[in-house]
Structure formats: C-alpha cells, structure tokens
Amino acid sequence: MAKKMQAVFGKTKLKLEVAEDKAKGLMDRRSLGKEAGMIFVFPFDSFWPFWMKNVKFPLDLIFIDSKFKIVDIKEGKPNSEKMILSGKPARMVIEANAGFCSRNKIKAGDKVTI
C-alpha cells in the first residue's frame, strides 16, 4: 500500500500518494482523484527532470524546494516525452490535475505545508 501525505496550500488541501517508483509515477493510470496528487521526494535540491510518457491526462507539476517554497509550476501535456525541468532547484515535485494551481491561485513563491 502506498504511503500517503497531505499538502496544504493556504486553505487548499491536496491528498498525496508518495511515488515509490519515481520512474513510473502516474504512467498508465486513467485519472487522479479530484483533490489528489502524487509527490516525488528527492534527497537534495536539484533540477529533477520529469516527462509525461504514458500519462493519459494533463498535470500541473509543482516544484518545491527544501524550505517548502514553490519555486516553479509547469503544465505537462499527456503522453509527451519532452523533458520538463523547473527554473530553480527543487527537493520535491507534486503532480496534480491540470488547472489545480490556477483554480486555487497557487503560484511560485507560495509556501506549502506537507
């Protein structure tokens, strides 16, 4: 069973599944729950590459540094093999349904509680 966490962006909460297989992530899944996401946690801040190969739905990628500050947000297109990198080093990346950040007015510079 996957480990669960929660991210809090101001008043908005997102239930997170911890990515145990970072190479697979959300590949081959049909969807995510409405207020659900997946978190990737890395050992240090860096420019971790992401792609959307075999991901069937668009995602917001939220890059977070070791001080729990959002350093970048990118949109991922389904089934794309184009690498997605943040503009600044990140320790964690949260994948949420596309539009999550704009709907909830989440932006770079915001703090996250995990």
**113, 87 in Cβ contact below 8 A?**
no
pLDDT at position 21 is 73
Q: List the structure tokens of 22.
A: 């970072």
pLDDT in tens, 42-90: 999 999 999 888 989 999 999 999 999 999 999 989 888 899 999 999 9
Alpha-helical (H) ranges within the chain are 100-103
Radius of gyration for the chain, computed over Cα atoms and rounded to the nearest angstrom: 13
Residue 36 pLDDT exceeds 90: yes
Counting beta carbons within 10 angstroms of the beta carbon of residue 4, is it exposed (0 to 12), middle (13 to 18) or buried (19 or more)? exposed
Q: Could you tell me the maximum CA-CA distance found in the chain, to the nearest angstrom? A: 34
The pLDDT confidence band at residue 1, using thresholds 50, 70 and 90, is: low
The pLDDT confidence band at residue 17, using thresholds 50, 70 and 90, is: very high
Domains of the chain: 4-103 (2.60.120.1140)
